[in-house]
Amino acid sequence: MNSNELRALQAPLKEQYIESPKNAIIAMHATGAVDFDNLTCHVDSATPIEGRTVSGLHPAAGGDGQSACSGDMLLQSLVACSGVTLAAVATAMELQITSTTVTAHGTMDFRGTLGVAREVPIGLTSIDLSFAVETTEPDEKIEKLIQLTERYCVVLQTLQQSIAVSSRRS
């Protein structure tokens, strides 16, 4: 896809959202069925592509390593969103990129989630996101590309903003 095709694809959406901001508010969802026998959760795909992701305990929490760990899935979501956003921004900027690899490294102290040490936070305590960009474009353009990717990446911005999450019985 080139920048003109991307603009043509997004122009009617942008116009619609300017004219009617409420149309830009979309409810997203994910659904999973819990398997108590195997301590896993089968998460349905939100797209027409059939499939499920089976998530389970990380080996550091007693899992067998055969299922996707939710912490890894969070990092994968960040990588996926950053990669798609980078591709769209690079296209809009008309940059010539040979290839890019996006990597996210997270750090977590499992003593928290296992209840071994109450003072230890539960969950990831840091994430390092990196972009290995192969290109002949000048460094300043690539720095701008990464800056805009960070600005428009939904998952990155959600993590950085520490949004309110509610939990309830339905």
pLDDT tens-digit map of 103-126? 999 999 999 999 999 999 999 999
Give dist(CA 142, CA 7) in Å, integer. 21
In tens, the pLDDT along 50-94 reads 677 889 999 999 999 899 899 999 999 999 999 999 999 999 999
Instruction: Tell me if 112 sits within 8 A of 125, measured CB to CB.
Output: no
Residue 133 scores a pLDDT above 90: yes
Of residues 96, 104, 100, 105, the one with CA closest to residue 141 = 96
Task: Name which of 59, 81, 84, 68 is nearest 6 in CA terms.
Answer: 84
Which domain covers residue 97, as residue numbers?
Answer: 69-161
Q: Is 18 a member of any domain?
A: no
The pLDDT of residue 39 is 87
* Residue 20: HSE in the Cβ half-sphere, 13 Å Cα cutoff: 7
Asked, for residue 56, whether it belongs to a domain, the answer is no
Structurally, the chain folds into a number of domains equal to 1
- The pLDDT of residue 37: 86
pLDDT at 46 over 80: no
Residue 166: the pLDDT is: 93
How confident is the model over 32-52, as a mean pLDDT?
79
* CATH code of 137's domain: 3.30.300.20
**Helix H or strand E encompassing 126:** strand 124-135
Max intra-chain CA distance, the chain: 55
